[in-house]
Structure 1
Amino acid sequence: MKRTVTIPGPPALEGIYETPDAPIRGNAVVSHPHPLYGGTMVNPVVHHVAKACRRQGLATVRFNFRGVGSSEGTYQGTDEWRDVGAAAEFVAHQAAGGSPLILAGYSFGARMSMLAALNGVSAHALILVAFPLMWEHLTPEAFDHIGDFRGPVLSILGQHDDVAPPEQVKAFFGDRGLEAESVLIGGTDHFFYDHHEAVEAAVEDFLARVLPTPTPSTEMARGEVE
């Protein structure tokens, strides 16, 4: 099932909520790349990440950050993690409840997903696609405590990415005590052109290993939304 939704604000955000064909095992919030450079919830990388999540039984919500599309508000560059939190609260009230929750993001969305996890949004795991090391309104110090996150973390990197250089991203995480599983996708850069399926496969493989195994007593029903 797929439907357009409004995530309560302020600012109110437009989103797309989708449930998997299989019984729902949890939820995923998937965040898009930079709002000022054409990033939206229908970005192809975001689409493929969300698709992989549903293939592993997660209901997904993609949304437009404040100031994008029909979402209210304006771009700030620092507080958009609150939009991730609002989306997480939204899915917590849908058919699957709030647990486990996966926070996933691409580029700017990866940065805001991490900040959301550091600011009280409880996540079972993080999926960070092309985590950018170009800081703009934020400084590296905003991420000094990323090592406090103790859940599974997947970092997907493009071999020739000059926005998220693979070795520098690995060092940035490692220097701050974050234990992240890294997947390097060869022959591509920050945009993953012609490599979207590789991103999808990496996400699906990761989730298959880190999601709790459903049992007859805990397995969630298919997602019909009241």
Structure 2
Amino acid sequence: MQSLLQGETSLQIAGPVGVLEALISLPAAERVSQPLVVVCHPHPLGGGTMNNKVVATLVRHYRDLGLPVLRFNFRGVGHSQGVHDHGRGELDDLRAVIETGLQQWPVGHMILAGFSFGSFVAASVAASDQRCQHLLLVAPPVQNYPFEHLALPAPTWVVQGDADELVSVDDVRRWVKATPSVTRYEELSGCGHFFHGRLQDLSARLHAPMQAWLTALQS
């Protein structure tokens, strides 16, 4: 079941193996120069969907900055057709969503964001799509996926809790230190993987720097 936020409308997207369900929020037409944001959800086999609370927090964060935001369910999740493909076909799902999103909001550039498994999908596509101007990775599972082999765009921002029970914070720190394209790293003290009770902190850590980045982009 979809959980719509204020200003969101439902969208059906033609994916590589069938229809993908999505939600899109578009700002006023006068802000047409702003980049499109696409947010990717956590692992489907762990119950991840576009209704995940971290995903919803990111959607609100970008929406409140006046950006068009699109979130969607990967194949086999919710009403999206197909079956889970262990991070392979999901890359093609995201690519299809991007193309549809840029038809809805034809600016030619975008921001990609992802939480957990979704951060790997977002990073993988961003590494091969020059239209991605900014990448946000929340709790990236660097010990499970080959992030180190991705040529990520700059700026890439990372947010990580230091009490994450699923992602090794030490591995994330090492990867961040070895990755020049990561230009901002925010670590939340005492915060677990699912950001229980810390969603406002997540949004607050991002708001001012993202606003400054957008201002510089438009200047």
TM-score category (smaller protein): 0.7 to 0.9
Alignment pair present for 1:3 and 2:9: yes
Normalised to the residue count of structure 1, the TM-score between the two structures is 0.84
2-side partners of 1:130 and 1:63: how far apart?
19
- What residue ranges of structure 2 are gaps of 5+ in the alignment? 1-6
Cα deviation, residue 213, structure 1: 4.4
Contact 1:7 1:90 in 2 (8 A): yes
**Contact 1:81–1:115 (8 Å) recurs in 2:** yes
Q: After superposition, where does 1:208-219 map in structure 2 within 5 Å?
A: 208-211=211-214, 212-214=216-218
Unaligned runs of 5+ in 1: 216-226
Matches within 5 A, 1:74-223: 74-79=83-88, 80-94=90-104, 96-120=105-129, 122-135=131-144, 138=145, 140=146, 143-146=147-150, 148-211=151-214, 212-214=216-218
Taking the aligned partners of 1:151 and 1:100, their CA distance within structure 2 comes to 14
Deviations 1:38-96 (A, max 9, x none): 100011100010111111121011000111000011111122122221111111001x3
Tell whether the 8 Å contact from 2:158 to 2:182 is kept in structure 1 after alignment. no
Q: Which runs of 4+ in 1 moved over 3 A?
A: 212-215
Cα distance in structure 2, aligned partners of 1:100 and 1:152? 14
Does residue 43 in structure 1 map to residue 52 in structure 2?
A: yes
Deviations 1:148-187 (A, max 9, x none): 3342111000120132233321212333444341111122
Answer 1 or 2: higher relative contact order, Cα 8 Å, separation at least 6.
Answer: 1
SS of residue in 2 equivalent to 1:188 = coil
Segment of structure 1 superposing worse, 176-185 or 195-204: 176-185
Q: Percent identity?
A: 31
Q: In structure 2, what is the Cα distance between the partners aligned to 1:87 and 1:63?
A: 8
Q: State the shift of 1:202 in Å.
A: 2.3
- Partners of 1:92 and 1:126 in 2: CA distance: 17
Q: What's the CA shift for 1:110?
A: 0.5
Distance in 2 (CA, whole Å) between partners of 1:150 and 1:29 is: 15
Classify the secondary structure of the residue corresponding to 1:8: strand
Native 8 Å contact 1:85 1:121 kept in 2: no
Aligned length: 208
Asked if 2 retains the 8 angstrom alpha-carbon contact of 1:56 and 1:208, the reply is yes
CA contact (8 A) 1:13 1:63 kept: yes
1:19 matched to 2:26: yes
Q: Is the 8 A contact 1:128 1:154 kept in 2?
A: yes
- In the TM superposition, what is the alpha-carbon distance from 1:214 to its structure 2 partner? 3.6
Counterpart code for 2:27: P
